Amino acid sequence: MDVNRSLEGRVAIVTGAGQGVGEGIARKLASLGAHVVIAARRAETGEPVADAIRAEGGLAECIVTDVTTRESIAACIDETVSSHGRIDVMVHNAFAGGHASRLEETPADAWFQMSRTSAWASFWCAQLSYPHLKASDQGRLVLVTSPSGVEGSANIPLYSPSKAAQRAIAKSLAREWGPDGICVNCIAPVAETPALASAFSQVPTLRGAIEARTPLGRIGDPTEDIGGVVAFLAGPDSGYVSGQTIVCDGGSFLGL
Catalytic residues: 159
What 3 state SS string does 63-119 have?
A: EECCCCCHHHHHHHHHHHHHHHCCCCEEEECCCCCCCCCCHHHCCHHHHHHHHHHHH
Terminal Cα distance for the chain, rounded: 34
| CB-count burial class (<10 Å; 0-12, 13-18, 19+) for 3 | exposed
CB 41 within 8 A of CB 65: yes
CB 187 within 8 A of CB 142: yes
Sheet containing 183-189: give its strands across. Answer: 59-64, 35-40, 11-15, 89-92, 140-144, 183-189, 245-248
To the nearest 10 degrees (0 to 180), the angle between helices 206-213 and 194-202 is: 120
Q: Which residues contact 81 (CB under 8 A, 6 or more apart)?
A: 87, 132
CB 215 within 8 A of CB 250: yes
Task: For strands 59-64 and 89-92, give the pairing.
Answer: unpaired
DSSP state of 221: P
